[in-house]
Every structure is written in C-alpha cells, then in structure tokens.
C-alpha cells in the first residue's frame, strides 16, 4: 500500500475507526435493549393498566414522540447537569436514544396487543390461566410477531440516531471518520466507508428481524 492512497490511510486509521464502530455498536445495542424492555412494559400498561397508569404511559409516549431526538440528547447531557445529575456523554446518548425509542416500541406493542382477537384472552381465562400467564403464553407470542416489522424499523432508526451523539462529544463511527478526514482530506472515500459500515449494521438488524419473523411464522389466527 503506497502512502497517500485510501487503503493506506484506512489502515493507518484502523484503530480509531474500529473504536468508533465499537461505540456505535454498543450504544445501539444498549439503546435497543432498553427500548425493547421498557417499551414492552409500557405497552402492557397502555393496553391493560389502570386508568391512571394508562394516562401516565400515554403522556410519556406522546411527549417523547413529539420531541426531536437531538433535543432529547442535548437535554439529557446538558439539562440534567443543571439539576446536579452528571451523566457521561456515552450513557447520556444511550438514555436519550433509548427513551425516545421506548415511546415508539410501546405504541407499536400496544397496537399489536390490541390487534390480537379478544377471544384469545377469554379462552385463556376460561381454562384458568392467571393474567401474567395469559399474557406470556397467549397474547405476547401473537403480538410479538405482529410488532416485529416496526421493531426492526425502530432498531434501524436507533443505529442512524447514534450519529447525533457526536454533538455531545461521543466519538462514534461518523465522528471517528470525520477525524480521519481532517487529517488526510479524503472526504468522499471515508464517507463512503462509513456508509458501507452503517449499511452492514442495518442489514444485520434487518436479517435478525427476518429470522425472528420466520421463527414466529407458525402462529396463525
């Protein structure tokens, strides 16, 4: 590899790029897990909770869906510090992305749960299953299959949303690429490299969603 070529510069910058890629993967994974767990719980609250619990969940969902994710990231990092809550930039980004995506997962899950025929719940109740068992064995498997496509879309949006973490100083993949560009001025080359990396990540998430969808395809209503 001759000095000054793209491959030479990419090899020289491999450590920084791989570190940025790792930060992107970790922040995406943590945010997706947080959004999935919290979104499922909030979706159950929206569908089956007491009136006051449904009201609180609805207020959260509508509020989060109406705030731009960039504003949420800035508030989590800078705004919380005004109240004496200091959060590291990486975790502030994870919390902001997870909180934003939680609202979308909760709404998608609520719609999936309510789309399951009411007779399914009544039949499970008739054979003596408790509510948690009715939810776990009857409703969730059917609802999960229906919410898989929007869940995959939410995961893809989270990965793309990690590019906004650079605004609070998190050196994720895009910022790491820009730092390399500042040294060698190969702007198009390294933007294309970053694009390919993001495509690989999102393609992997889409394939995981397709695999899970096939796994639950035996369910028929």
Domains and CATH numbers, the chain: 7-215 (1.10.3720.10)
How many other CB atoms are there within 10 angstroms of residue 90's CB atom? 19
Place of tokens 């909180």: 99
pLDDT at 114: 84
Return the closest-CA partner of residue 190 out of 70, 22, 20, 26.
20
Residue 220: per-residue pLDDT: 52
CA 110 to mean position of chain CA atoms: 17
pLDDT for res 146: 83
CA distance 116 to 44: 13
Rounded to whole angstroms, the Cα distance separating 97 from 73 reads: 7
pLDDT at 221 (0 to 100)? 47
pLDDT of residue 117: 80
Global pTM reads: 0.89
Closest CA to 75 of 101, 102, 50, 93: 93
Are 73 and 94 within 8 A, CB to CB? no
Question: Which of these, 157, 136, 179, 125, lies nearest to 40 by C-alpha position?
Answer: 136
Residues of the chain predicted below pLDDT 70: 1-2, 216-221
Q: What is the C-alpha to C-alpha distance for residues 94 and 100, in angstroms, rounded to an integer?
A: 10
SS (H, E, C) the chain: CCCCCHHHHHHHCHHHHHHHHHHHHHHHHHHHHHHHHHHHHHHHHHHHCCHHHHHHHHHHHHHHHHCCHHHHHHHHHHHHHHHCCCCCHHHHHHHHHHHHHHHHHHHHHHHHHHHCCHHHHHHHHHCCCCHHHHHHHHHHHHHHHHHHHHHHHHHHHHHHHHHHHHHHCCCCHHHHHHHHHHHHCCHHHHHHHHHHHHHHHHHHHHHHHHHHHHHCCCCCC
């Amino acid at each position: 590899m001759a000095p000054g070529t793209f491959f030479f510069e990419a090899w020289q910058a491999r450590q920084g790029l791989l570190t940025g890629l790792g930060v992107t993967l970790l922040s995406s994974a943590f945010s997706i897990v947080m959004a999935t767990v919290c979104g499922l719980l909030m979706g159950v609250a929206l569908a089956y909770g007491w009136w006051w619990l449904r009201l609180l969940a609805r207020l959260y969902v509508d509020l989060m869906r109406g705030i731009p994710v960039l504003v949420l990231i800035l508030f989590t990092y800078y705004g919380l510090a005004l109240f004496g809550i200091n959060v590291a930039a990486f975790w502030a980004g994870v919390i902001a992305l997870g909180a934003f995506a939680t609202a979308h997962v909760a709404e998608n899950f609520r719609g999936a749960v309510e789309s399951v025929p009411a007779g399914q719940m009544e039949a499970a109740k008739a054979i003596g299953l408790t509510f948690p068992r009715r939810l776990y064995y009857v409703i969730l498997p059917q609802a999960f299959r229906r919410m898989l496509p929007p869940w995959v879309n939410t995961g893809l949006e989270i990965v793309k949303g990690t590019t906004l973490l650079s605004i609070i100083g998190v050196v994720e993949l895009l910022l790491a690429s820009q730092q390399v560009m500042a040294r060698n001025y190969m702007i198009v080359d390294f933007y294309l490299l970053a694009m390919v990396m993001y495509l690989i990540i999102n393609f992997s998430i889409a394939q995981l969603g397709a695999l899970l969808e096939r796994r639950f395809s035996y369910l028929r209503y």
